[in-house]
Amino acid sequence: MANESMKLRVKTGEKDGKNFWDSCGVLFINRNAAGDITSIQVRHNMFPAVDMVAFPKRDDDQE
């Protein structure tokens, strides 16, 4: 089973052709042995006590 995590970032500004970004959360993707996505969770700094899911985490998903 493979797990992936991705940073969620928002553009906060631009100066002299440079973009500035703020990390605002993390996206966790859980996959089974065949590579199919089994669940997705989002943790966002605007909602620190809320565990958002695209579809529910399974008991056999690793964190």
The pLDDT, as a whole number, for residue 62 is 58
Residue 14 within any structural domain of the chain = yes
The pLDDT, as a whole number, for residue 63 is 52
Number of domains in the chain: 1
Residue 43 within any structural domain of the chain = yes
Tokens 């500004």 sit at which residue?
A: 13
Domain that holds residue 36: 2-54
pLDDT digits (tens, 9 = 90+) for 15-27: 999 999 999 999 8
pLDDT digits (tens, 9 = 90+) for 3-61: 889 999 999 999 999 999 999 999 888 888 888 888 888 888 888 888 777 666 666 66
Residue 61 within any structural domain of the chain = no
- Contact (Cβ atoms closer than 8 angstroms) between residue 31 and residue 2: yes
